[in-house]
Structure 1
Amino acid sequence: MILGVLIVSLLAFALTNVFAKKSWQTLLSLVFGLIFVASLGLIVANLSNHFGMEKVTETKTTKIVSSTESDSANMLLYKALGNGTEKVYLYRTDESQKKPKATGTDNETNKVEKTDGDAEKVSKTTYWIYKSDMYKFWFNIADNNHEYDKRVNTFKIPADWVELSTDQAEKLAGLVKEKQSTMESEAKTFVQEGLVKAMTENPKMSQEEQAKLTKDLAADYQKQALAKLVKEVKGE
């Protein structure tokens, strides 16, 4: 609507200024000129400084699964941009999803936090909206209501998840393959020693208890071995 006022005031100023012969006509042309300048200033203020608008933030929580299909660990992968300070995170929302989604780079930042619950992505997106229908009526020139401002993504991952860059993940996969036979041998030894120790302390351990302990020991070894490899690829 204000664009219409701008155009009308400009035409009115031009006409009254050209044909002004009396003082009241000159005064009227000045009024139209002031209206034109004020309208133009308000339009500029709206487009550049969001005059008449306010920020609102919408929160969306999405469950996520490992960025890649991996038997060794759940991973949250990222790709570093530029000098490495900016990261684009790759995530999946379903096990059947083949290609991971990527976070954006347009005023979008990412954080990673540990959680005791399930892995999830919490996105807080901020938009500009008009403060009232009146402001919307006057200034919604370029259909800019609900204009995007910024987004903050917080990836909440359990303690047993691994955060790696795509390069580090590739290197980790290579190390696991390279040391597979050694790790299998070490795993057997680790499980046997743990089982012998447990049975020494509890000779009456049942077959079911032994089977469960064997499974738990194998998982413990895998977790410890993976933690060492992760430190190696991160250079820690």
Structure 2
Amino acid sequence: MIIATLILGVIGLYLSFIMMKNGVWRVILSAIFGVIMIGSLYLVNANDRSHFGMEKVTTTKTVTITSASPSKALPMLLHQDVGTSGKRQVYIYKVAGKTTHTKADYLISNRVVTGDKATVKSVKTAWVYKNDFYKSFFANQNNHKLIKQVNTITIPKTWTSLSTQQAKALAKRLKAAQNPTAAQKAKMTAAIQQAVIQAKMKNPAMTATQQKQVITQAKAKLQQAAIQQAIKAVKAE
């Protein structure tokens, strides 16, 4: 509507000032259409710069996220630097099974905290038109214009936060660990045997089934320790 009003003012001013002969009506109409044109320009500028007809609205949205990693045993929150300063990052995760990420915008800030559940809480403040009249008058321009957004990403302690480059390096390390050397195999076997000996000392009447459980638990513990060691290594690189 504001554009139509501006066009009306321009055309009316042109017709009245240029096309009409000198007289009272020329002066009156030129003044009216001049006010309409200047007033329209002022309102467009006021809406764009001072957000005339708008108000700040803050909304909060929380979504449950899952790991961006394909491995259930190694849940991850990935991030990637935006620009060259390294001060801003986008975070990568999944929502309802679909990979997504935070937006790369200087008005958006992210922070990562630990908690019980993996979620992203977004607190968004934006300019919104006060009513339908203003919304229609300004043709919905600048509606929901972002002022700021704060994303609080909560991840459990079992998760690991890595950059995309660190995740690639970790994948290489874990792949290499699937083919241990003879020395590494001997070390693992010794650790498992030690776990069985300690378990038998606590329970001399241990059955074969119980011994298998001890071995399984020992292997899982060693595997987890190896993963944590690999994560520590890639973070130190």
2:94 to 76, 92, 95: 92
Residue range with higher mean Cα deviation, 165-174 or 9-18: 9-18
Q: Do residues 7 (structure 1) and 7 (structure 2) align? A: yes
List gaps (5 residues or longer) in structure 2.
none
Q: Which residue is 1:80 aligned to?
A: 81
Hey, what's the Cα distance between the residues in 2 that align with 1:33 and 1:136?
24
Counterpart in the other structure of 2:143: 145
Moved more, 127-136 or 188-197: 188-197
Aligned counterpart, 1:50: 51
Pairwise CA distance, 1:157: 1.1
1:68 maps to 69
Per-residue CA deviations over 1:112-154 (Å, capped at 9, x if unaligned) read 221122x223334444320122322322254x43445554433
Alignment counterpart, residue 161 of structure 1, candidates 159, 164, 177: 159
Counterpart-to-counterpart distance in 2, 1:137 and 1:154 = 35
Gaps of 5+ in 1: none
User: Match for 1:7: what amino acid?
Assistant: I
Q: After superposition, give the CA deviation of every residue in 1:149-201 in whole Å (9 maximum; x if it has no partner).
A: 55443322111111111221121122223334266654444444344334434
Shift of the 231–141 alpha-carbon distance from structure 1 to 2, 3 Å rule, reads: closer
TM-score (norm 1): 0.76
Residues 50-93 of structure 1, C-alpha deviation per residue, up to 9 Å, x if partnerless?
32112333333332222121265111222223323332322223
Corresponding position: 1:122 with 2:121: yes
Q: Structure 1 CA distance, aligned partners of 2:40 and 2:101?
A: 42
After TM superposition, the structure 1 stretch with the greater mean CA deviation from structure 2, 156-165 or 133-142, is: 133-142
Residues 87-236 of structure 1: pairs in structure 2 closer than 5 A: 87-94=89-96, 100-107=99-106, 108-117=108-117, 119-140=118-139, 142=141, 144-147=142-145, 151-180=149-178, 181=180, 185-203=186-204, 214-235=215-236
Following TM superposition, by how much is the alpha carbon of 1:202 offset from its aligned partner in structure 2, in angstroms? Answer: 5.0
How far, CA to CA, are the matches of 1:74 and 1:188 in structure 2? 27
Q: TM-score when scaled to structure 2?
A: 0.76
Q: Structure 1 46/188 Cα, relative in aligned 2: closer, same or farther at 3 Å?
A: farther
User: Shift in Å at residue 234 of structure 1?
Assistant: 1.1
Contact 2:82 2:104 in 1 (8 A): no
The answer on whether the counterparts of 2:114 and 2:157 sit within 8 Å (CA) in structure 1 is yes
Residue type of the alignment partner of 1:104: K
1:17-73 deviations in whole A, cap 9, x for unaligned?
A: 344645675355334323321211111221344321123333333322221212651
Q: SS state of the match for residue 17, structure 2?
A: helix
Identity among equivalent positions (%) equals 37
Kept after mapping to 2: 8 A contact 1:72/1:222: no
Structure 1 residue identity aligned to 2:143:
N
* Number of equivalent positions: 231
Contact 1:124 1:153 in 2 (8 A): yes
In the alignment, residue 46 of structure 1 is paired with which amino acid?
N
Tell me which residue corresponds to 1:17.
17
Q: Distance in 1 between matches of 2:132 and 2:72?
A: 55
1:227 to partner: Cα distance: 2.1
Q: What SS does structure 1 have at the residue aligned with 2:74?
A: coil
Shift of 1:6: 2.2
